[in-house]
Structures are given as structure tokens and as C-alpha cells.
Amino acid sequence: MKDSGREAGRAGLMAFAIALALGMACGLHGLRAAEAGVATARADNGRTSCSPVGPGPALALAWQFDSGLPRPAWVGEARGSLWQKIETSLVPRAADDLAPVPVVTRDAVVLGTTLDGLFCIARPPGAIRWSRWLPAPVRYAPVVVGDRLFVGADDGVVRALDMASGVTRWERPVPRPSPWLPGNQRLVSPVPIRTGMLVSGSTLYVGAGLFPIEGTWLMALNLADGSERWSVPLGNTSPQGYLVEAGEDVLVPNGRAAPVLHRRSDGSLRRALASANGTLAVVSGTESFSGPGASGAFTGSSTAAREAKIISYPGRHLAVSPGTSCLANEREVLALDRDALRANAGDVARAVRWKTPLAGATALAIGGDHVFVGHTNAVSVLGLADGRNVAVLKAPGVVAALAVDATGVVGSTQDGRVIAWNRTGTPGTGEAPVRLAAERAAVGHARLTPAAAPPDATGERIRRALGPLGLRRGWGLWTGTGTPDATAASVLAGNEFSWVFAVPASEAEAWREHLGLHGWLGHRASVVARAPDGSVPVVGGIFNLVLADALEPAEARRVVCPPPSGRELR
């Protein structure tokens, strides 16, 4: 059994190597993004995770930023699958929000967080340019095009912001405004944005929706004003992952289902690819790769040929350069020489450029002549030509995402810390790295429950109401009057409920900022804007406790859970 498994692994490796040799990594699609001034996750529109120019190995810690403890949508996977005949634990296939994914431009780093934050950090050496707090989690990285930043969130809204100031230029619900509902332990739109957006030319492509019963869509928007160019329903699929440019098509990853090609001209379905499921898809030339599948393997296929041969290679991370394909699994990092594969009819033994043992890789990127591998407490820098370990950058945790360019390397950890290493000699880079704090009270890693809030009438009302309910955790709705600095701590103290503050639209941003700066937004609290008629834009019957001071009686009865699980206070 061991020998047959080893032979199967060799066969899978050979098939994957042959497929990798056929593509033109960091090719046409990535160059289009770079030439158009687009900064996006995984370096380019092909999601190759390859920057043609890197910073070199001589790097120094420049700054650190604590973005808050992430709250991923999906935690863990099943311990096996009888249907797929898999007896070991499945590989997480929707894990793109384990850490904030940094996007680098010439003079800034931008990132969104699952705690509803959006940050722009000037570089080098590192200073917060602006921050925004959105109504819902940002699970996929923003896209920067020139002087505009585009971001989608779990509230089902695409926003265009000014890169210099963070001011909103336009926003558009996709496909339409809808009452929010509980999802992934948060209140979200029934059509949250769970794809990384793709910008090509003057068009922005976005997938919306998570629950097929509520509807899922692929849409194309005008980059200038957000107006719709086309939209198509996706039926029973759930788009999750970074959208990928594939020639005249857009490749849509679908989480636990296979990726699908749609025409960029009108959104019409071209075909599904017979390849692994997962949220990671890469396009290089006419070759596509997706994974990591249920058991931790990428498969490769052709975006052009319907009957393309399917190949497989065990691994979780992939980055491709013009001459080399780099892959990482739980044990090693492997580099394959494409030219050698072609010259030797796919003989893998004569095409392996190098293998470097490195356990537990959690992120992978190519920058110029080097490969950057994130793992626990470090980023290892390997030579692209020989795999030699030339530097180790220390990191405070498990590095789950990387971005590389000529200035340096930016990584983020699973506990929400963002770290920048700049090229040695870059202004502001030295032995005393800047610790960015955004004038906040210990973002995210502060105590999530106010421990010393002074007793007041609001806190006492909540304490008395929770006793008869007999609930340790639940959903609470506050609709009273008052400022966030005078009210929020009193509502949150002394209980473990998740609270939604429903406030007038004119006050919503101030509430989000206050809660965000104290580390409560996303963990203990959310903010929604009440409609002009005073109603709360949520589905009915979801709150265990409603402080209904500012609600009409009929609206309060609509949103509270039926007895004995719900109670209304006035």
C-alpha cells in the first residue's frame, strides 16, 4: 500500500508538472492588470501570486499593525466524507478570510477585515492614511485602480472610495437592497459579497450571494459610477473566491463546487471546469488550476479545450513565474522548470529544479528572483533559481497571506497582525519598527466585554431582563437614544449577547467608529441604520431581547423572537 501510494503520488506530480509547463505564468492576464494600474490580491488578474520585480532578500522590519482578531466565516471542516470515501479530515475550502489579505500599491497598503474595518497605510515607512468602518465584514481584499479603491462586504454593497481620503464616491447594492439575516454568527445581507472583485478595462466583475435559496448572481458594473452592465443568476452555485480573468471569460470559483467560466461580454455561461473545488483558482495562459479540493490537492485543466486532461498534485499553495512553477504542501516547497519539462517530454525527474524541505507552509508568493513562504512565526526567503534559504523574516504568528513588490513584503497573521518588511535602505526602515495604532484602544486584542462600565439605568434594565430569559448568549437589539461613548459600554457590559445598535442613518458611521476603535465591532456589536420610517432592515423574529424605546410597537413585535425565547422592553 505504501509503495502504490508513493507511485500514485509520482504519477500525480508528473501530470501536474506537464500541465504547469503548458501555461504562460505571470502572462497576458497579469500584465493587463499591471499595465492598467490595477493593484489586486495575488498580484494580478490571473491570481498567479507572482510579482515580476521583487525586493531582494535584504529586508528589515518596517512597521506592524494590529487590525484586530479575525472572525472567519467558516471554522474547521468535516472529519471525513463517506460519499467521497475520504477517511481523514477534509481540507478547509473556504478559508480566504483567516487573515486580512494585504494589497500593495506603489505608495500604500490597503486591507479589509472581518471586523468591518478598511485601512489604508502609507508606505514607506508606514503611517495610517485613513480608516473606515463598514456595516459588515470585508472577507475579500479590495481592488485599487488609479485613485479609486473598490471593496465589497457582507452587507451586499460594492463601494468605490477615494484612495487619498477614503471618502465614498459611489456605492451600489448588488443586486438589490435586502433585509439582513443571521449568517456566520453575524448579521449579513442574504446576498453577501463573498468573491474577490475583478477589474478589467472599465468594468468591475463581482459575485454576490451565498445561499442559493436567496439567489446568487454574477454582475458586471461600470467602474466609473457603479451602473449595471449585466447580471446573470447563478442558480444552485455559491460564488466564493477571487474572480479570475481568463481571456474573454471570467472564472468563478464556487467554494465546495467546481469553478465555472462565464463570458465577460454578457455573463452567459460557457461551461464548468472539471477540476477540484475550493476558493483558489489561478489562470496562466489557457491553463487553469483550482483547489485545494476536499483532500488538499490542486487540479489543472484548460480554459480553452472542453476535453482537456485533468491533472492533480497534492498541495495547498501555488505561485507561478514565467519559467518556474512553485508549489507547497505540508512537507516541502517544489520548483519545476517549464522549459525542461517541454524538452524532456514531461520527465519530472529531469524537470525538478529544486526541492526544499519546509514544513507547514501557509502562504506562498514569488517576487522577482525569490520565493517567499509564510509559515508559523516566520517568512522564509528562498532563491527562485536554486531553492536555497537565503533569509528568514521573523513574524508574530502564523503568516496566512503575503503581498510582494519592489519595495518589500507585507504579510498578515491569523491573529490579525499585519507586518511590513522593507528593502534595506528604504527611508524609515530601521531597528525600531513603527507600531501603528490608529489612535485606538488596543484594536481587537482588547477585552471584548467592557469590564468596568459604570452602573446605569440601561445596564440594569438589561440585567433584569436577561434573568427570566435564562439565556447566556443570544441576539440583542438596542434602539434607544444617546451617544455611543455614553451608551455602548453599558449595553455590552455584564452579558455575552451579540448586540445590534439600530440608529438613525446620520449617526451610524460615528457608532461604527466608536465600536471599532474599542475592538467591539464585529465581535460583540454591529450597527445598522434604521430606515426613514424607523424600521430596522432585518428579517423578523431574530432578537431575544429588544430595547424598543425608539421603535413602533408593531415593528418591535416583528423583530423579537416569540416567547419564551424573546422579550421586548420599553
Evaluate if residue 370 carries a pLDDT over 90.
yes
Closest among 136, 132, 175, 141 to 155, alpha carbons compared:
136
pTM: 0.88
List the one residue out of 489, 483, 476, 518 whose CA is nearest residue 504: 483
| String of DSSP letters for 211-252 | -GGG--EEEEEETTT--EEEEEE-TT---BEE-EEETTEEEE
pLDDT in tens, 289-300: 676 655 555 565
Whether residue 240 contacts residue 252, with contact meaning beta carbons closer than 8 Å, is answered with no
Torsion of CA 508, 510, 516, 521, to 10 degrees: -20
Under the banding of pLDDT at 50, 70 and 90, the label for residue 418 is very high
| pLDDT at residue number 241 | 92
Share of residues in the chain with pLDDT > 70 (%): 78
Query: Are 468 and 474 within 8 A, CB to CB?
Result: no
Query: Residue 28 pLDDT more than 90?
Result: no
More confidently predicted of 92 and 39: 39
Rounded distance between C-alpha atoms, residue 291 and residue 293, angstroms: 5
| Residue 552 CA from chain centroid, whole number | 38
For the residues 16-33, what does the mean pLDDT come to? 40
Q: How far is CA 389 from CA 34, 182, 333, 366, 372, in A?
A: 29, 46, 11, 14, 10
Residue 415 pLDDT > 60: yes
With cut-offs at 50, 70 and 90, classify the pLDDT of residue 280: confident
Alpha-carbon span 171 to 242, nearest angstrom: 20
At 330 the pLDDT is 84
Instruction: Dump pLDDT digits (tens) for 46-92.
Output: 999 999 999 999 999 999 999 999 999 877 655 544 444 444 554 55
pLDDT at residue 562, as a whole number = 94
Range from 27-31, 231-235, 534-538 carrying the lowest mean pLDDT: 27-31
- Distance between CA atoms of 558 and 444, rounded to whole angstroms? 33
C-alpha grid cell, residue 114: 472581518
Picking from 406, 425, 381, 394, the residue whose alpha carbon sits closest to that of residue 57 is 381
Mean pLDDT taken over the chain: 83
Which of 353, 352, 387, 357 minimizes the C-alpha distance to 375?
357
Q: Which of 255-259, 323-327, 331-335, 542-546 has the highest mean pLDDT?
A: 542-546
CB 436 within 8 A of CB 109: no
Three-state secondary structure of 110-172: EEECCCCEEEEEECCCCEEEEEEECCCCCCCCCEEECCEEEEECCCCEEEEEECCCCCEEEEE
Alpha helices per DSSP H over 23-120: 28-35
Residue 273 has pLDDT above 70, yes or no: yes
Q: Report pLDDT for 480.
A: 85
- Residue 455 has a pLDDT of 56
Give the pLDDT of residue 296: 55
pLDDT tens by residue, 180-232: 999 888 999 999 999 999 999 999 999 999 888 899 999 999 999 999 999 99
Mean predicted confidence (pLDDT) in 520-535:
94
Model confidence at 376: pLDDT above 60? yes
